[in-house]
Structure 1
């Protein structure tokens, strides 16, 4: 292995897409090693971990992230013990409990986790999932009061409630206890509750606050631990088996990845261990969902975000909001199969709707090229897909983006996605406090809002002023960060296995990128609707396949398609296994290219 002094990988300071290629941390150039001969598995694994923030003396703990090593004492979190004791009293007294969840994957998995845990404890809890279109995000005061009137003495909100002051005041006045389990940003003044468990409370201690990256389902899991512990002194398990908390980690993994929570620390342990549970296919609804996704192997973290999660989300976006919870808690295989197939059909419908809204939103971009934050609003846009479209716009432009679906009543529902280094959730909360929004909240990378039409211009200007410097700073540091440089012969299935060992990967724990070159383009064409496919050959006589998804119209694709003759290139991207052929091969999921000479 050679170590280079240059900060730019392969000397690329300006790629075809206009990015510098920089080493993520230490340099690792394997270009001189041939496939299977470098023997550097340990070195690669150690460097992948250290360049993602792991201290050199802590590599072994992070190489195999276990619950034992990363799980904090739940009692460190404010109100955790109060929440656990109130739930314990409900279990002991066989109270009527309702779990009030959000309509996305994090909400569905959080609700399912609480329902399944209480079921194992002998208490059948009800659930309530609001309709995205009719009720919107967060607890409705009217719904909470109605649940109380129907006999619920305890309501647990999951993935919502941290900012629901008015609704929770109505619940308190109706005489029902509410426990809030959330992870969204909080204001200094908290709503009235029996307990509010949220690592992003402003009054949290340092250890609890360091877990602010948890999804709500992760917080719910910690509450589950605290609940079991609270029941022990009451002798509750003298004649019954304690619930299998580890068996709930499949739900935690799915909710964590689908909610794009940062995969470091405890979240990596959640997902790593949860994937093992998922691989056993023990949960009937999860097995049906994998079958509907045509996933016939053990799932990876990426499958949770791109195959399973979108199907659960489709129910809340354009279908029936309860489908996800019903699927994840059913004990009936036939019901599970039917719901999973329904969610798959809804997901296909969602894709078509999303494409229409994205096309309309992109048509508005020309008028906003100087804006730090894109705020795009339109009539007739389906509010169930605006978050996805905001993410697409963000990826296309490299700027935070908010997409708003205007309603006929003069308000609009909006969803935003941000870039690293720009706290969109805090800006949305500030805009609400300035009176520019009817409602709004979120976290650093994602936020939601309701806005009156007459405030749209002022809101757009507010965001541009508040975030312009942060966006400029974040974009100035945007580059292609790479972990390895190698010759084509180094692209092997064994290398993929080595790179996978430092996973699971996701937000905050990026999958490794490699640079390969120099190569000549043997063949380049478009496959599917707009995917670029290339066959590249190196000076070492080895060739490989590369594919760039949804990239047909990019400058990179056009260059490789039409201007590659007689030129050599460096290619950069992520290495994956292509198992379509007679034997597995490594292929490059292409993200960028640069001229090599």
Structure 2
């Protein structure tokens, strides 16, 4: 939504002390929609303005203010290949096969892995899981790990939050005799891997319109489909009852917020109901993590993103990548406390490493470009930077320079890096294009974040390519920098009742900014 319009200047403020204009989030048509929302749904005028300013249609207001799984989650079979995935998983359960879950080393990967492993355990299996080491294995499935799983008798490999672009690696898995199911959300390349099923709402032939889900959200839909199939097959009994999947929404909410996907549609229901599940403190690992993070009050989305998420990520960044998943799966109170304490320690260490690298990265960026004369993107690199924190550094640079940022850690002639983008600039598409152009060894991601591997000799070519690919969209995105104002209040109008009403527009986060 372009709010950089002089006719929408709010209270006549064309430039605040920070240099940003104040813009009314609503144009004339939006103001009419807000009035209609207030009249039809009986909500206060300010809440109606907030809702209208987030593009909510008149008939969608009840679902927006009270998001529910029942109303917002479509049939899992609306996702391409979901039927094949559920069939293969159900067959593995009924036959007692050896199943391995291969996840990513971030929060979305940890929660996705824990979700699937938990259900398979409830169904009677004892699945293996593998979270790759960020430095020694890198992102996604790798042949070495798959060979080890095959040697342990695994017949079905399920990749979660990865696998969509792993064409050659998953072909090797098939040659080893493994069936493969991919459950993911990352953007695909030109060629999809030949697997039993690839469930990803971002594949071109998927019509579900659920591309905004993170992997944990897609895994949850898979669990709904699988539990239903097992019920139809008579697998759930009085002695082995079907799980209450709503109790697992705490994990889905954590993955959704930590992966910074838009809080709209089904994601709003995931987070809203997941926070309710989290407040019950029934999952030992998350309870222990909340305690070490000194989270005393009811958890909110900001706590997921800035307290719990970074601690789970710390294991994958600078420690044991599987720590987060083990924490989410444990039913041993002492183990939960031990792992939570270790993740808290690693997070403190991560902060120290990040500060040192960020200082060097900012100095390089300023020396190369300056704050205002930077090109379409910021690309910084360093020898010996810790690969586990380059994503955090890229995020900091993106915020400071208000443009996409790439941070690359070199070890000799090859570097691994991460990119973070600004709204309106699809960084995943640019990285995929760079792979196709032969500028990257590998890379992938989605609109707001991406990972990559690059040879040092191609770094200059990569910078030039990104400048050409991103210049127009970055210019447009940076032009829309007005501070969007939802409404004005007198001091007397700021009541507890109003705060409670405004809170109904939550959960707030990516794609649903706080008023």
Shorter-chain TM-score bucket reads over 0.9
Name which of 443, 446, 458 aligns with 2:446.
Answer: 443
Name the counterpart of 1:10.
11
Tell me, in whole angstroms, the C-alpha distance in 2 between the residues paired with 1:247 and 1:156: 22
Within the alignment, does 1:228 sit opposite 2:227 as a pair?
Answer: yes
Q: Supply the distance in 1 between the matched residues of 2:345 and 2:201 (Cα, whole angstroms).
A: 36
Deviation at 1:450, TM superposition (A): 0.2
Instruction: Quote how far apart the aligned CAs of 1:48 are.
Output: 1.5
Deviations 1:335-393 (A, max 9, x none): 00111111111111111111111110000122133311111111121111111111111
What is the CA–CA distance in structure 2 between the aligned matches of 1:44 and 1:75, rounded to whole Å?
39
Residue 36 (structure 2) aligns with: none
Greater strand proportion: 1
Query: Which of residues 67, 70, 77 in structure 2 aligns to 1:68?
Result: 70
Greater mean deviation of Cα atoms: 118-127 or 210-219: 118-127
Give the 3-state SS of the residue equivalent to 2:182 in structure 1.
Answer: strand
**Paired position in structure 1 for 2:288:** 288
2:411 to 396, 407, 413: 407
Give the counterpart of 2:114 among 91, 108, 112.
112
Q: Which one has the largest radius of gyration?
A: 1
Residue 51 of structure 2 aligns to a residue in which SS?
helix
CA RMSD, 1 decimal: 1.6
1:506 aligns with 2:509: yes
Bigger relative CO (Cα 8 Å, ≥ 6 apart): 2
Rounded Cα–Cα distance in structure 2 between residues aligned with 1:233 and 1:148:
31
TM-score, with normalisation over the residues of structure 2? 0.93
TM-score w.r.t. length of structure 1: 0.81
Q: Post-superposition shift, 1:493?
A: 4.3
Structure 1: runs of 5+ lacking an equivalent? 30-39, 513-597
Give 1:487 deviation, angstroms: 3.2
SS at match of 2:243: coil
SS at match of 1:376: strand
**Is structure 2 residue 97 aligned with structure 1 residue 95?**
yes
Counterpart of 1:453 (choices 450, 453, 456) is 456
Q: Which residue of 2 aligns with 1:182?
A: 184
Q: 1:25 maps to which residue?
A: 26
- Hey, what does 1:305 align to over in structure 2? 305
Superposed displacement of residue 193, structure 1: 1.0
Q: CA offsets per residue over residues 55-110 of structure 1, 9 Å max, x none? A: 12221121100001101111011110100010001111111111100000000000
Q: Is the 8 A contact 1:26 1:47 kept in 2?
A: no
Once the two structures are superposed, the pairs formed by residues 145-184 of structure 1 within 5 Å of their partners are: 145-184=147-186
Report SS of the residue matched to 2:382. Answer: strand
Deviation string for 1:496-536 (max 9, x for gaps)?
33222210011111111xxxxxxxxxxxxxxxxxxxxxxxx
1:125 to 116, 124, 127: 127
> Would the aligned equivalents of 2:49 and 2:487 in 1 still touch at CA under 8 Å?
no
Give CA deviations for 1:546-576 in whole Å, capped at 9, x if unaligned: xxxxxxxxxxxxxxxxxxxxxxxxxxxxxxx
For residues 149 and 159 of structure 2, the distance between their equivalents in structure 1, rounded to whole angstroms, comes to 12
Query: Structure 1, residues 434-491: CA drift from partner, whole Å, max 9, x if none?
Result: 0000000000000000000000000010000111011001111121111122234444
Q: Matched residues in 2 for 1:322 and 1:491: separation?
A: 46
Q: Specify every segment of 5 or more residues in structure 2 that has no aligned partner in the other structure, as ranges.
A: 1-5, 32-41
Partner-residue secondary structure (3-state), 2:102? strand
Which is helix-richer, 1 or 2?
2
Stretch of structure 1 that moved more, 344-353 or 10-19: 10-19
Q: In 2, distance between residues paired with 1:188 and 1:318?
A: 33
Distance of 2:434 and 2:190 partners within structure 1: 16
